Amino acid sequence: MVARIIVPAELKRDTPFEVRILIQHPMETGFRLDMMGTLIPKNVIHKLTVTFNSDTVFQASLGTGISANPSLQFWMKLSQPGLLKLFWEDDLGVIGEAVKSLEIKGPQN
């Protein structure tokens, strides 16, 4: 499953910026029926963690109320370059990861 981490092209030191996450996941509610009339079991990304250089930046616990292919946005700021890691797990135990390298551009302090 594809996961995207999108940040602005130019990141400045200690300047807030928005991080956008988009994950390809059906987020099955458990209420839908398949073509044969059988209930499709519930399967959502129940846990999502974003870390930056091993510090937890953002955590989410999602329910079926979040739409399919979840899109999340939060804010953070950088004081040093590093790796932004996204880790998520769904009800079936499927684990997904994505990594984005963040670099500081612009005048140094």
Partner 1 sequence: MIYSLNFICICARCGVVSQIRNYKIRLLIAVLTLPLVCAVGVASANAADINQSEQSVEFARVIPPEQLRSGFTFISDDLRYLQTNDDLNPAFLWVIQGETLWKQASSKDSPSCQSCHGESNQSMRGVSTKYPLIDKKSGELVNLEARVNLCRTRYQHMNPLNLESEEMLGITSYVASASRGLPLNVRVDDQNKAHFLRGRSLYYTRMGQINLACTHCHEQNWSKKLQGETISQGHINDYPVYRLEWQRLGSLHRRIRACLSGVRAYMFPLGSKELLDLELFLGWRSSDSKIVVESPGVRR
Partner 2 sequence: MRKINAFKNPKSESMGESSANSLMTKRDWFKGVVTFGLISRLGCFIGSQIALPKDAFAQPSTAPTTPTTPTVGASSSNLSVAQLTPFQLLFKEITNSQPVTQGGIVLETPRLADNGHSAALRVYVQSPMTNEDYVKSIYLLSDRNPRPFMGRFDLTPINPSAEISTRVRLNGSQNVYALALTSKGQWLSAHVPVEVTESACLDAS
Q: Determine, following the binding rule CB under 8 A, whether residue 97 of this chain makes contact with partner 1.
A: no
59 touches partner 1 by CB under 8 A: no
| Given 20, 30, 39, 40, the residue binding partner 1 (CB under 8 A) | 20
Nearer to partner 1 by C-beta: 32 or 53? 32
6 alpha-carbon distance from chain centroid: 10
State the nearest-atom distance from the C-beta of 55 to partner 1, in Å. 24
Query: What minimum distance in Å lies between the beta carbon of 47 and partner 2?
Result: 10
DSSP state of 91: T
40-45 contacts, C-beta under 8 A, 24 or more apart: 41/91, 42/91, 43/90, 43/91, 43/92, 44/90, 44/91, 45/70, 45/88, 45/89, 45/90, 45/96
With binding defined as CB under 8 A, does residue 30 bind partner 1? no
Task: Establish if 10 lies at the interface with partner 1 (CB under 8 A).
Answer: no
